[in-house]
Structure 1
Amino acid sequence: MGGDDADLVRKHLAGDPDAFRLLYEKYGDKVFASAYRIVGEHHAAADLVQEIFVKIHGELRSFKFESKFSTWLFRVTVNHALNRASEGVRHARIHEKIVRDGRGDPGGTKEGRPVDDEVQRALLELSPKLRIVISLRYLEGLSYEEIAEILELSIGTVKSRLFLAHETLRPLLKQVRLEPES
């Protein structure tokens, strides 16, 4: 576990009122981006950030320091967001809203860039299970091992889901021109 995070968790558990705020400031945007990539809707992702930090605030005493805090936090985020996605966020409604609003991923793309919009639409065609693996690997830059730990999957399952995601995305992105215009 990263020294800074471990220290902040220990300080929070010891009653330091600023420690949890510092964890929130460090990870709030990352939690939002991960949640957004799963649920695909800005307001739902913002709600999830609040719910997740309330949840971990209450559960931090059960954190065992066996893994990095960030790994544990991503696991909580993924599980909570997948539960929310399966509770009724309909894929068609999300896709329709993104097309109508012309919004890309607020966590990393610039509004109005057609390639980003097309990539975001293609990602939303994936099931949440495939989308999160793609997001963790390519947008968060995590290793197979880190993804496996966060999602509580075998490395083989992570690789299999990445392969399925690539196969699904290939025809969807075939028309997208990824090289810069001259």
Structure 2
Amino acid sequence: MNDPLLENGFGDNSHLVLQLKNGDPEAINQVVDRYGKPLFAFILRMVEDYQAAEDIFQETWVRVIRNIGSFRGESRFSTWLFQIALNLSRNMMRQMSRRSFVALDEAAELSEDPDVDADKVILAQKIKKLVASLPVKMREVIVLRYYHDKTDFEIAEITGLPQGTVKSRLHRATQMLRGKIEGTELAVPGAEVE
């Protein structure tokens, strides 16, 4: 007998999701191993505060464990996971906007690879700051698309927005970044920003 839930959003994670629903601690470890790094990177890019990102990361997993029974497989597990993290990140950003924005420790950005060109690291930091300067609604879609390779459809599922809105926000956010880049030393004379 085919379980329709397993044919939908569970995807290749069906066994892990079922084990999670049964409270299997090994399944929790496997899911954290599989999604931990990209999830934390997403949260960190959204809130731009390492301590806040750690708190959101932990709370995301608490909510996953607490609410796994409500996951019906209508979307992919990773989409559901990122939705939880996005909602918690939005709440944190609202709280942070009431006080001064805390910058990330630049040392945390340095690559573990000693052969990485320092200019590339500096360029990446400048681009990161430009992305961080975008309004939250624009930053969400840019981070999901360009840092996490999500499709318009996946971004729509994660954010709860219509796909058309996702496309227009991506376009507007790209235009905003283009304008910000043109006003900095990142601009290359005679080059089009894509």
TM range (shorter): 0.7 to 0.9
**How far did residue 135 of structure 1 move?**
0.9
- The answer to whether residue 28 in structure 2 is matched with residue 24 in structure 1 is no
CA change 1:104–1:90 in 2 (3 A) is farther
Larger radius of gyration: 2
CA change 1:173–1:80 in 2 (3 A) is same
Q: Distance in 2 between matches of 1:60 and 1:111?
A: 43
- Match in the other structure for 2:164: 156
**How far did residue 79 of structure 1 move?**
1.0
**How far did residue 102 of structure 1 move?**
3.2
Task: Give the TM-score, by structure 1 length.
Answer: 0.85
Task: Give the TM-score, by structure 2 length.
Answer: 0.80
Runs of at least 4 residues of structure 1 off by over 4 A?
Answer: 89-92, 103-112
Which amino acid in structure 1 is aligned with residue 52 of structure 2? A
Task: Select which of 129, 132, 144 maps to 2:140.
Answer: 132
Q: Distance in 2 between matches of 1:122 and 1:18?
A: 40
Q: Distance in 1 between matches of 2:187 and 2:123?
A: 7
Q: Distance in 2 between matches of 1:133 and 1:105?
A: 21
User: Pairwise mapping of residues 63-102 of structure 1 onto structure 2 (< 5 A)?
Assistant: 63-89=71-97, 93-94=101-102, 97-98=103-104, 101-102=105-106
Q: Distance in 1 between matches of 2:111 and 2:173?
A: 20
Which whole-Å deviations, capped at 9, do the CAs of 1:75-104 have from their partners, x for residues lacking one? Answer: 11111111111112468533xx34xx4357
- The answer to whether residue 23 in structure 2 is matched with residue 15 in structure 1 is yes
Question: Which structure 1 residue ranges, 5 or more long, are not aligned?
Answer: none
**How far did residue 107 of structure 1 move?**
9.6
**How far did residue 65 of structure 1 move?**
1.3
Question: Which structure 2 residue ranges, 5 or more long, are not aligned?
Answer: 1-8
Which amino acid in structure 2 is aligned with residue 74 of structure 1? F
- Match in the other structure for 2:186: 176
- Match in the other structure for 1:4: 12
> Percent identity over the alignment?
33
CA change 1:128–1:103 in 2 (3 A) is farther
Q: Distance in 1 between matches of 2:143 and 2:82?
A: 12
Which amino acid in structure 1 is aligned with residue 69 of structure 2? R
- Match in the other structure for 2:3: none
Q: CA RMSD in A?
A: 2.7
CA change 1:90–1:131 in 2 (3 A) is farther
- Match in the other structure for 1:60: 68
